[in-house]
Amino acid sequence: MAFVKGQVANPKGRPKGSKNKKDEMIAKLTQQAIDGGLLPLDFFLSNLRNDEMPLGFRYENAKAAAPYCHRKMPIAIENADAPFKVFDMSMLVGLSDAELAVVEKLMSKAQEQSLAEHKREERQPLGPKAAPTVDKPSRKPAPKPKQKRSWES
C-alpha cells in the first residue's frame, strides 16, 4: 500500500484512552497498596527497593518518598542580626534592688558565655578535622646549568 498525502499512515492506530504497561502496573500496585492498607511511605519505599521495577519508576518513587523521609531546608531567618529577646523586661517590675542586681549579674554572665561559645564556633572548621598541611618540596627537578656551545663564546 502506497503512502497517500494527507492520510495517516496507520489509520486504526492505538485506541484513545488505552493503557500502556506502565499505567497498568501503577494501577495494579496502587490498588494492592490500598487493599493492604499500606501507608504512602511504605508504598513508595517498597517500589523503590523492588529490583524488578524499571529504573525510571524506582527513581520516581524515590522522589515521591523524599518528603516523607527528609524535611525541607528551612528558609533563612529574616533579620538574623536583630537582637533576640529571651524574656520581657516587664516581668522584672516587682523585684527589689538586690534581686535586680542578682538578675543583672546572671544575665551578664550568660551573655559572656554565649559570646565565648559563638567565637569558639566561628574558629572551628565546618568539616571533619583536617590534618595539618605541610609544605612539600616541589617535585620539579632543579634546572640544569646551561652549557656553553662550541659556537658561542
pLDDT tens digits, one per residue of 104-122: 898 888 888 888 887 776 6
Higher pLDDT, 121 or 15: 15
**Which SS3 state, helix, strand or coil, does residue 87 take?**
coil
Give me the domain span that covers residue 38. 22-69
- Domain assignment present for residue 128? The answer is no
Instruction: Answer whether residue 12 shows pLDDT above 60.
Output: yes
d(CA 96, CA 103): 11
pLDDT of residue 139: 64
Whether residue 145 lies inside any domain: the answer is: no
Max CA pair span of the chain: 107
Angle of the 40-49 helix axis to the 21-36 helix axis, nearest 10: 130
Domains of the chain: total: 2
**CA–CA gap between residue 99 and residue 112 (Å, rounded):** 20
Model confidence at 135: pLDDT above 60:
no
Residue 138 belongs to some domain of the structure:
no
Question: Are 100 and 62 in the same domain?
Answer: no
Q: What are the pLDDT digits (tens) for 24-75?
A: 888 888 898 889 888 888 888 888 898 888 888 899 989 988 888 877 766 6
Asked, for residue 103, whether it belongs to a domain, the answer is: yes
Cell 544575665 locates to 107
Is the residue at 119 inside a domain? yes
Q: Which helix (H) or strand (E) holds 110?
A: helix 97-123
Is residue 151 in some structural domain?
Answer: no
In this structure, is residue 41 part of a structural domain? Answer: yes
Residue 14 in domain: no
